[in-house]
Amino acid sequence: MNDRPDRVVPRLAHLIALAIAAATLLSPSVSALQFTSGKLTGSFDSTFSVGGLYRLNDPDPMFYGITNSFNGVRGQQNSVNADDGNLNYGQGWASFLAKGSHDLELRYENFGAFIRGYYFTDGKTDKTLRTPLSGDARERVEQGAELLDAYVVAKFTLFTDTPVDVRLGRQVLSLGESTFIPNGINVVNPVDLSKLRAPGSELKEAFLPVNMLKASIGVTENLTIEPFWLLEFRRNELEPAGTLFSTNDIAGRGGNKVLLGFGGLPDSGTTGAIPRTDDRRPQDIHQYGVAVRTMVPALNDTEFGFYFANYRSRSPVISARTPTRGISSAFVVSTASGLAQQQLAPAMVAAGYPAAGVPSALTTLIGAALTNVPGAALPATLRPFYPAAQTIAAGAGKLGLLDAAATARYFIEYPDEISMLGASFNTSVGNTGISWQGEVSFKNDVPLQVDDVELLFAALSVLNPLFAPPNNQMGNFLGQYNREIPGYRRHKVWTAQTTVTKVFGPMLGAQQLSLVAEVGGVQVNLPSKTTLRYDGPGTFTSGDWLAMARTGNTQYGYTPGKAFADKFSWGYQVFARLDYTNLFAGVNMSPAIGFTHDVRGNTPLPLGNFIEDRKSVNLSAEFTYQNRWAFELRYVNYFDGGRYNLLQDRDFVATTLKYSF
């Protein structure tokens, strides 16, 4: 039974491409511990690794909030809801990771089982500079263990000549032909993003197995039908809030509040903080699908795949519940009176106003300011102090709004009933040695995140009509207390990508050069941005400068339309690797380079495939010895994309030592 989850791609060219991406193209499998007892046979694989990750630069002020600072430098970002991870780690070591993983495979006649688990500890990740990691966050990145795959297999023949392979349990099911670009046909298994950048990361640890029942039915020699039924729901694991690569402090593990004020309110307090309430977890039912694969010998053994799936969103969307009450007039009066006593009373005494008369004068001034009484209607002795009283009253009014807003809640949900149709191909191009594959998918009712500022203003319209349309695009909810406002709209989404793989012969002193290139795009039937704006990374203020002005937020500017999600977005990735065998003393070396470029458009969140002009370079060198020892050095550089590429200041170097047996 040699079809483990990390090998379940039945297309030869796709297997080669994935192997290159995982840096295992040349190395043969490490000999596992083999054992036999009668008809029972099995194998046991183990891998241990230690590694570290070093951040190459301190946080850039462009990527943390305007009320926050790092080494005395104030931030420039109009949000404090996306910078905890950035401010928690300066230049220096951010991770010291040790981990182990084990694979156990058992075979008995036509039955089998496979179990995979891993455990880890990180001695550095929790040593944060500013915000402690939550318990949920530490479970994902500091210390823990997890059972990954755990399934049983039965193989039998149906109707005397139809082979059937049935699997039950936690497993990874690979669909489609994409190698690098996500959110295509391969929708079954969620991804743990925190594992992808960890030192010594492996794909088998990032793809999260799901309990399912799956069958593979060989209808003919060239036609296979693979129905599957998911028995549980698992979500994508975002980078936990406060960890180095987290760019979202509100939706991942450890995120518990969203701060209002466009970065103008400190995130260390409760003023302007809207708490998070319970996530809306979908039920485990109604997730199923089928894959049909057929090989056509007349077309150079081209394999075609056709897919259907009904599933729930693996990625979170944010929705809101409006405040439970209106602005408290008693709170506003009390706050204004207190501020006046602190700020205005000393000024009045200093200006010669009789101290004994100050308390009653303050009451008159604040009362008039809160009810918009014209200054001319006040006694002449109070008129010089009225502008200051009006400023205090306006400030108290804003605090009253924030006080009422704090009774609102936001929550994370994973909408259900998404349907997907897909088709793929995999072939060889004549005798060129080029493998070519591609896929196209159509998804119906995909939940896409409306811009969070539109959602915020809609929720605040409950308290103040200033936040109602035209200052938000989601509607007027004045007086509709404790009402849920979905933060997403459902849309039709098309994705397409194609990949070429070529292995060249000896060059540059190496035994071979392997090259993989993939290009992909996303098309969504979005309305115009003047009708409804959809969320993109870094869109922290409204896209309407008039809305910012009319709501009293002119000082924070506005976000240009190009930063929000677009109807079409595309990009490409290229990966190249040289393999030097027996470079010295039995040591093999494999230097590699990867380049990504999001050429045009911003993919709507939570998909997020592309951010216009975002680029990255990944340089690595792996040294292997006796197919047991491996040492890797990696450098990653994120650049371009402006303030919307939120990882731009988090370049790093990582190193890993690994031993397998």
DSSP string, 412-437: EE----EEEEEEEEEEEETTTTEEEE
CB neighbourhood size of 97 (10 A): 23
The CA angle 118-317-325, to the nearest 5 degrees, is 125
- Residue 177: pLDDT band (50, 70, 90) is very high
pLDDT tens sequence across 223-247: 999 999 999 999 999 999 999 999 9
274 - beta bridge partners? 258
DSSP letter, residue 283: P
Q: What is the mean pLDDT of residues 74-87?
A: 96
* pLDDT of 409 over the 90 cut: yes
In angstroms, the CA 451 to CA 454 distance is 5
SS3 157: strand
pLDDT tens sequence across 570-629: 999 999 999 999 989 899 999 999 999 999 999 999 999 999 999 999 999 999 999 899
Give the DSSP per-residue string, 291-307.
Answer: EEEEEEGGGTTEEEEEE
- Residue 26: pLDDT band (50, 70, 90) is very low
The CA angle 353-354-360, to the nearest 5 degrees, is 95
pLDDT tens sequence across 445-459: 999 999 999 999 999
The percent of residues in the chain predicted with pLDDT above 90, rounded, is: 88
- Amino acid 35 reads F
The percent of residues in the chain predicted with pLDDT above 70, rounded, is: 95
* pLDDT of 21 over the 50 cut: no
Rounded to whole angstroms, what are the CA distances from 158 to 154, 163, 221, 494?
12, 6, 14, 37
| Sheet strands (E) in 298-385 | 302-311, 317-321
The terminus-to-terminus CA distance of the chain in angstroms comes to: 19
Least confident of 1-10, 78-87, 341-350, 460-469: 1-10
User: What rounded mean pLDDT belongs to the chain?
Assistant: 92
- Residue 203: pLDDT band (50, 70, 90) is confident
Q: Which of 509, 539, 559, 506 is nearest to 608 (CA)?
A: 539
Q: What does pTM read for this prediction? A: 0.89
CB neighbourhood size of 351 (10 A): 9
- Residue 27: pLDDT band (50, 70, 90) is very low
pLDDT score recorded for residue 368 = 95
* pLDDT of 305 over the 90 cut: yes
382 dihedral zone (left: phi>0; alpha: psi -120 to 50; beta): alpha
Are 557 and 563 in contact by the 8 Å Cβ rule? The answer is no
Q: Which of 387, 345, 381 is nearest to 363 (CA)?
A: 345
636 - beta bridge partners? 618, 652
Are 419 and 443 in contact by the 8 Å Cβ rule? The answer is yes
In angstroms, the CA 6 to CA 436 distance is 21
Token pair of 235, please? 């979500």
In angstroms, the CA 249 to CA 118 distance is 27
In angstroms, the CA 120 to CA 348 distance is 64
Rounded to whole angstroms, what are the CA distances from 568 to 499, 520, 571, 646?
20, 11, 11, 21
Sign for the pseudo-dihedral over CA of 370, 374, 378, 380: positive
113 - beta bridge partners? 106, 152
70 or 583: which leads in pLDDT: 70
Q: What is the mean pLDDT of residues 515-519?
A: 98
Q: Which residues of 11-40 are buried (b: 16+ CB within 10 A; e: fewer)?
A: bebbebbbbbbebbbbbeebebeeeeeeee
Token pair of 125, please? 């990740």
Torsion angle of the four alpha carbons 456, 461, 465, 471, in this order, in degrees rounded to the nearest 10: 30
Q: Which of 202, 26, 207 is nearest to 656 (CA)?
A: 202
- Residue 31: pLDDT band (50, 70, 90) is low
Token pair of 109, please? 């006649």
In angstroms, the CA 185 to CA 16 distance is 19
Give the DSSP per-residue string, 199-257.
Answer: TT--HHHHBPPEEEEEEEEEEETTEEEEEEEE-S----BPPPTTSTT---SSSSTT--E
Are 229 and 215 in contact by the 8 Å Cβ rule? The answer is no
pLDDT score recorded for residue 11 = 38
Q: List all residues 6 or more positions away from 627 whose beta carbon is below 8 Å from its beta carbon.
A: 27, 28, 29, 30, 31, 660
